[in-house]
Amino acid sequence: MSSNSPTIDHACQHKPKDYKRALKPVWCPGCGDYGVVNALYKTMADLNLQREDLAVVSGIGCSSRIPGYVNAYGFNGVHGRALTIATGVKLARPETTVIICGGDGDGLAIGMGHFPHAARRNLNMTYIMMDNRIYGLTKGQMSPTTEHDLRTKTSTKGNIEQPINPVLLALSVGVTFVARTVGTNIKHMSEIFKQAVEHNGFSFVHVLSPCITFRGKGQFDNLESRTHFLEPGEHDVTDFREAHEKTMFGEKLYMGVLYQQKKESFMQRYETIRNDFMQGSRKTVVEVVDEFLP
Ligand code: SF4
Q: What is the pLDDT of residues 144-198, one digit of tens each?
A: 999 999 999 999 999 999 999 999 999 999 999 999 999 999 999 999 999 999 9
pLDDT (tens digit per residue) in 109-145: 999 999 999 999 999 999 999 999 999 999 999 999 9
Q: Is the pLDDT of residue 3 over 60?
A: no
Other C-beta atoms closer than 10 Å to the C-beta of 186 total: 20
pLDDT band at 66 (very low <50, low <70, confident <90, very high): very high
**Is residue 255 in contact with ligand 1, taking CB distance under 6 Å?**
no
pLDDT of residue 5: 52
**Which pLDDT score is estimated for 2?**
43
How many angstroms is it from 212 CA to the middle of ligand 1?
6
From the CB of 31, is ligand 1 less than 6 Å away? yes
Does the structure show a pLDDT above 70 at 8? no
Specify the residue with its C-alpha closest to ligand 1, atom 1: 31
Residue ID of nearest Cα to ligand 1 atom 5: 136
Asked if residues 177 and 196 have their Cβ atoms less than 8 Å apart, the reply is yes
58 CB-contact burial (10 Å; exposed 0-12 / middle 13-18 / buried 19+): buried
- Whether residue 60 has its Cβ less than 6 Å from ligand 1: no
Looking at ligand 1, which residue's alpha carbon is closest to its atom 6?
A: 27
Atom 3 of ligand 1 has which residue's CA nearest to it? Answer: 28
Closest atom of ligand 1 to CA, residue 63? 7
Residue 221 has pLDDT above 70, yes or no: yes
Please give the single-letter amino acid code of residue 260: Q
| pLDDT of residue 1 exceeding 70 | no
Q: What is the DSSP string of the chain?
A: --TTSPPB-TTS---GGGGB-SSPP-SPTT-THHHHHHHHHHHHHHTTB-GGGEEEEE-SSSGGGGGGGBSSEEEE--TT-HHHHHHHHHHH-TTSEEEEEEEHHIIIIITTTHHHHHHHHT-S-EEEEEE-SSBTTTTSB--TTPPTT--BTTBTT---SPPP-HHHHHHHTT-SEEEEEETT-HHHHHHHHHHHHHSSS-EEEEEE---HHHH-TTTTGGGGGGEEEPPTTSS-TT-HHHHHHHHS-SSSEEEEEEEE-----HHHHHHHHHHHHHTT-S--HHHHHHHH--
Q: Would you state the pLDDT for residue 95?
A: 95
Confidence check: pLDDT of 7 > 60: no
- What does each C-alpha distance from 99 to 20, 102, 191, 282 come to in angstroms? 15, 10, 15, 34
- Which residue among 66, 132, 138 is best mutated to probe the pocket of ligand 1, counting the most ligand atoms within 8 A of its Cβ? 132
Mean pLDDT of all residues belonging to the chain? 93
Q: Using CA atoms, how far apart are residues 63 and 111, in angstroms rounded to an integer?
A: 15
pLDDT computed for residue 9 by the predictor: 53
pTM of the model: 0.93
Q: How far is ligand 1, taken at its centre, from the CA of residue 211, in Å?
A: 5
Q: What angle do CA 181, 174, 182 make, to 5 degrees?
A: 5
Q: Please determine, for residue 273, whether its predicted confidence score (pLDDT) is greater than 70.
A: yes
Provide the pLDDT for residue 6: 56
pLDDT digits (tens, 9 = 90+) for 233-261: 999 999 999 999 999 988 899 999 999 99
Residue 280: its pLDDT value, please? 84
Angle at 52 between CA 51 and CA 57, to 5 degrees: 75
Ligand 1: distance of its center to the CA of 33 in Å? 8
Q: Is the beta carbon of 214 within 6 A of some atom in ligand 1?
A: yes
Ligand 1 neighbour 36 (Cβ under 6 A) = no
pLDDT (mean) for 22-27: 96
What ligand 1 atom has the least distance to the C-alpha of 209?
7
Q: Which of 33, 101, 104, 146 to mutate to test the pocket of ligand 1 (most atoms within 8 A of CB)?
A: 33
For ligand 1, the distance from its centroid to the CA atom of residue 225, given in whole angstroms, is: 24
- 254-263 pLDDT per residue, tens: 999 999 999 9
Distance 138 CA to ligand 1 centre (A): 10
